[in-house]
Amino acid sequence: MDEPLMEVLTARLHDEGIQAGPRVPESGPAALPVRKFYIESYGCAMNFADSEIVASILGGSGFEATTDFRRADVVLINTCSIREKAEQTIRSRLHIFRQAKRSNSGLLIGVLGCMAERLKAKLLEEEKLVDLVVGPDSYRTLPVLIDAAEDGQKSVNVLLSREETYADISPVKLNSNGVNAFVSIMRGCNNMCSFCVVPFTRGRERSRDAGSIIHECTELFVEGYREVTLLGQNVDSYHWYSEKEEDVTFAMLLEKVACISPDLRVRFSTSHPKDITDEVLFTIARHGNICNYIHLPVQSGSNRILQLMNRGYTREWYLARTNRIREIIPDCGISSDIISGFCTETEDDHAETLSLMEDAKFDMSYMYFYSERPGTLAAKRYTDDIPEAEKKRRLDEIVKTQNRMSRSSNMKDIGIISKVLIEGDSKKSNTDWMGRNDQNKVVVFPKLGHTLTKGEYANVKIGRSTGATLIGEAISKA
Ligand code: SAH
Ligand code: SF4
Ligand code: F3S
């Protein structure tokens, strides 16, 4: 019997695509020709988690995975619409797939995810060789839609649901290192940040059955995974209403997942500054295995811009939250998302963003220049009036400020002992381990001297830092 195909590739998030091959056999007992699918994912962690659901649904309908799209019967691309550049990247990938279709007319090309939802049937007009367009809440219908497409019928299903959470579907891991796993706890978003396309592509917010989340995390732990990241666009509004038992809030869910095992690290993303509660902070402080790290996107430091963005908090509120985080969890790592050049942003507004960064002392940030998305509140109400060169100049200043903040945050770690979960070989050398500490910082250290392995914890003494990475030496198993 063939061994399962174990593809170990590194997940790269944020608008970058990766080739994907699930842990399912490439070829089964030869009888009927088995249809093969290839899937590629772009965008946020939730999209990557969705591709694992798609792999599970297709696996259940007799499809097998391939990591070579030239050998596939169906090529699927799980897309992101968050910025224009994300969509451009996907269109150039579609170009490559179209060429493959020219030499294999039976090949089906399917667009999944946020771009499918945003453009709907229009995508079939714009990209003539696309056969399937399937939105994020319609993946259960994929096998039927593929059959229809094989019969020559172009298919579109972009219905959004108020209930679908795929709670009962056991994701088939793609590109997994066997240590870190993403677990979706909710879908959609009810916030209406004026710049953001997500509420339109992902629909209404809904929480997943708490029992199914605990079950999935427990199974992952049993399989050897040592870190789960609970995913939602706004995890603080997670709420599972139960008729039989007590309701589960996000703080309660965190605690339940943390109680699976002290050896299972728990992370979560994304928290919203207007919604993160003290209860969540106290829960993190109480459990050693809930990582002391919060991704708390601020977007802008100017109250006027925050209001135009419809973020629901002020600069003062935001800084009060970061102070409270550090009061309750003194060594908590905090990271952020920042947008430069939003509609009407003045030089003074921009200066406020830079000064907020100094005050909040982010350990890390994801930084972008504003990209107008059709259909959003900002596109309807405001003019995208900051020239691109100016947006990029401001972004450059934001990046430089963040680099300075990150360097000084890393300098503070020199000499301390960090508990690191080993994720695998370092990118540069297989004689070094790479892992992350509680605060989500990447730590690299030589393998020499200790019999450690992937998925184990090490106490690492930090000796120096290079840019974003801490370099140290293992002093013991943790
Ligand atoms: N739910 C998360 C963010 C999801 S999108 C939250 O509320 O924070 C990830 C990040 O992309 C956002 O935080 C924002 O910084 C950025 N982003 C979203 N829309 C954007 C746009 N139109 N232009 C530039 N950046 C954008
Ligand atoms: Fe977009 Fe705002 Fe929802 Fe985040 S909270 S997904 S930025 S609308
Ligand atoms: Fe992109 Fe959709 Fe995620 S727009 S960031 S893939 S929710």
Q: Specify the CATH number for the domain of residue 426.
A: 2.40.50.140
Q: Are residues 453 and 468 in the same domain?
A: yes
CATH number of the domain to which 398 belongs: 3.80.30.20
Of all ligands present, the nearest one to the C-alpha of 190 is 2
pLDDT surpassing 90 at residue 449: no
pLDDT tens digits for range 151-171 = 999 999 999 999 999 999 999
% of the chain at pLDDT higher than 70: 93
Residues 103 and 153 both lie in one domain: yes
- Answer whether residue 255 is part of any domain: yes
- pLDDT tens track for 378-387: 999 999 999 9
Percent of the chain with pLDDT strictly greater than 90: 88
136 with 220, same domain? Answer: no
Determine whether the shortest distance from the Cβ of 77 to ligand 3 is under 6 A.
no
pLDDT of residue 245: 87
Whether residues 427 and 357 share a domain: the answer is no
| 458 and 433 Cβ atoms separated by less than 8 Å | yes
Pocket probe mutation, ligand 3, options 198, 231, 235, 337, max atoms within 8 Å of Cβ: 198
Going from the Cα of 36 to the center of ligand 3, the distance in angstroms, rounded, reads 26
Is the confidence at residue 22, as pLDDT, over 50? no
What average pLDDT does the segment 79-102 reach?
95
Ligand 3 contact, 202 CB (< 6 A): yes
pLDDT tens-digit map of 193-202: 999 999 999 9
Residue 444, Cβ density class (10 Å: 0-12 exposed, 13-18 middle, ≥19 buried): buried
259 and 135 share a domain?
no
Confidence grade of residue 175 (pLDDT, cut at 50, 70, 90): confident
Number of domains into which the chain is organized? 3
Task: Tell which of 387, 411, 435 closes a domain.
Answer: 411
Residue 337, domain member (yes or no): yes
Residue ending a domain, among 374, 395, 411, is: 411
Burial string for 23-33 (b: 16+ CB within 10 Å, else e) reads: bbebeeeeeee
Instruction: Give nearest CA residue, ligand 3 atom 7.
Output: 198
Statement: residue 28 has pLDDT above 50 = no
Closest atom of ligand 3 to CA, residue 78: 6
Residue 18, pLDDT > 80, answer no
Mean pLDDT, range 468-472, rounded to an integer:
95
Residue 173 has pLDDT above 60, yes or no: yes
For residue 165, being part of any structural domain is answered with: no
| Residue 87 alpha carbon to ligand 2 centre in Å | 18
Q: Which of 268, 353, 269 is nearest to 309 (CA)?
A: 353
Phi-psi region of 311 (alpha: psi -120 to 50; beta: other; left: phi over 0): alpha
270 lines ligand 1 (CB under 6 A): yes
The atom number, within ligand 1, closest to the CA of 82 reads 19
**405 and 421 co-located in one domain:** no
Q: What is the mean pLDDT of residues 47-60?
A: 97
Ligand 3: does its nearest atom lie under 6 Å from the Cβ of 201? yes
Asked whether residue 113 is domain-assigned, the answer is yes
What's the domain range around 291? 180-411
Q: Are residues 321 and 300 in the same domain?
A: yes
Same domain, 424 and 345: no
Ligand nearest to the CA of 373: 1
Question: Is residue 29 one of the residues assigned to a domain?
Answer: no
Would 31 be classed as within a structural domain?
no
Q: Are residues 286 and 403 in the same domain?
A: yes
Give the separation between CA 78 and CA 43, rounded to whole angstroms: 8
Has residue 11 been placed in a domain?
Answer: no
- Judge if 389 and 332 occupy the same domain: yes
Least distant ligand from the CA of 112? 3
- Across the range 251-261, mean pLDDT stands at 98
CATH number, position 55:
3.40.50.12160
Within-domain flag for 205: yes
Is residue 3 predicted with pLDDT exceeding 70? no
pLDDT at 31: 58
Q: Which of 80, 134, 368 to mutate to test the pocket of ligand 3 (most atoms within 8 A of CB)?
A: 80
Write down which residue in 411, 442, 462 finishes a domain. Answer: 411
- Whether 212 and 316 share a structural domain: yes
Residues 6+ apart with CB under 8 A from 170: 56, 216, 219
Q: Alpha-carbon distance 426 to 424, whole Å? A: 6
Report pTM.
Answer: 0.93
What is the pLDDT, as a whole number, of residue 202? 98
Is 332 touching ligand 1 by the criterion CB < 6 Å? no
Residue 464 pLDDT class (50, 70, 90 cuts): very high
Residues 442 and 398 reside in one and the same domain: no
